[in-house]
Structure 1
Amino acid sequence: MTTPPHRLNPDRDFIPVRIAILAVSDTRGLDQDKSGDVLQGRIEKAGHILAARTILRDERAEIADQLREWCADPEIDVVISTGGTGLTGRDVTVEAHRDVYEKEIEAFATIFSLVSYQKIGTSAVQSRATGGVANGTYLFALPGSSGACKDAWDEILHWQLDYRHSPCNFVEIFPRLDEHKRRK
């Protein structure tokens, strides 16, 4: 399987996106958050804005509360969480995300699995990476490994969060994410 071509429309200007990073871990602090560091470096290198960054324990209600708080913040467009997407009993990030989603982006998990399969083979089956939308904010739950975060950013999010990406991208539909709330 080959990587599809990525096309940037030269007639469009780059639009920086405000992104928050949430690390989920019972054992790490922010100073040991390699995945968050990887994402922050890539976010800033791409020209986007790091809007917030924190770490929480693997507690479903706490994670969901933080996601809701950031979704209510007009200064945050996207939330990327790392960790807690596996199969163990303490891995509750996916459930917390789904508690918050208004709509799930099912194809995000599919594409992430395809990207992961190219790197780690059938071990990709153990990931429950997910994406969704809530309150006009994109939410993505990535595995806690820095490699998985690199893959998700480099192969998916980097392109979908670039307004110049053709034929379509997440940024161009920001104004319409919550249009159902404005209808009478």
Structure 2
Amino acid sequence: MSERRFIPLRIAILTVSDTRTAEDDRSGDTLVARLEDAGHLLAARAILPDDREAIAGKLREWCESPEIDVAISTGGTGLTGRDVSVEAHRDVYEKEIDAFGTIFAVVSMQKIGTSAVQSRATAGVARGTYLFALPGSPSACRDAWDEILAPQFDYRHKPCNFVEIMPRLDEHQRRK
């Protein structure tokens, strides 16, 4: 049996913030650097304010694009009134990846202790596209990428990974 080869994914990065710009988007920059270092492709990048409808609209747009396999947002996952990324993501999901938030909390707990309870990181799938909502700090983006996403976005990772099931994510939408 031959070894699996790496398959680069096309990943879009969305920063959710009322104050960040392209010049000071450290969390977005962190994710872009990590995905490119891993051999993946930056498919799109945007910055939007904390607006539920705008975030959901961008996610839907990216889910419709055949040029995007994964969309990762950073920011807006906290508990304050302006934090609406989780709700926007859930407006779009067809299926939620429940264990992502749990595993992210475990990873975070090792770094920031009980403060991890304040994160509402989430993930799901819509129209064959993976969607992830990460906190807005560069360290949280590093932790999510290094500890969870990098291995799951690597087709060589065993016993299983997100890449190997990608062709079947939208099988319910195909004709029988």
TM range (shorter): over 0.9
Name the Cα RMSD after superposition: 1.1
Partner Cα distance (2:34, 2:118) in 1: 25
TM-score (norm: length of structure 2): 0.98
Contact 1:18/1:76 (<8 A) preserved: yes
Which deviations, in whole Å up to 9, do the C-alpha atoms of 1:34-79 show, x marking residues without a partner?
0010000000000000000010000000000000000000000000
TM-score (norm: length of structure 1): 0.94
Partner Cα distance (1:160, 1:33) in 2: 25
Structure 1 residue 10 displacement after superposition: 7.1
Q: Which residue of 2 aligns with 1:121?
A: 113
- 1:20-169 pair list within 5 angstroms: 20-169=12-161
Partner Cα distance (2:148, 2:175) in 1: 31
Structure 1 residue 182 displacement after superposition: 1.2
Structure 1 residue 183 displacement after superposition: 4.2
Structure 1 residue 31 displacement after superposition: 1.2
> Identity percentage over the alignment?
75
Q: How many residues align?
A: 176
Which deviations, in whole Å up to 9, do the C-alpha atoms of 1:138-181 show, x marking residues without a partner?
00000000000000000000000000000000000000000011
Which deviations, in whole Å up to 9, do the C-alpha atoms of 1:105-135 show, x marking residues without a partner?
0000000000000000000000000000000
Unaligned runs of 5+ in 1: 1-8
Misfit runs of 4+, over 6 Å? none
Contact 1:22/1:54 (<8 A) preserved: yes
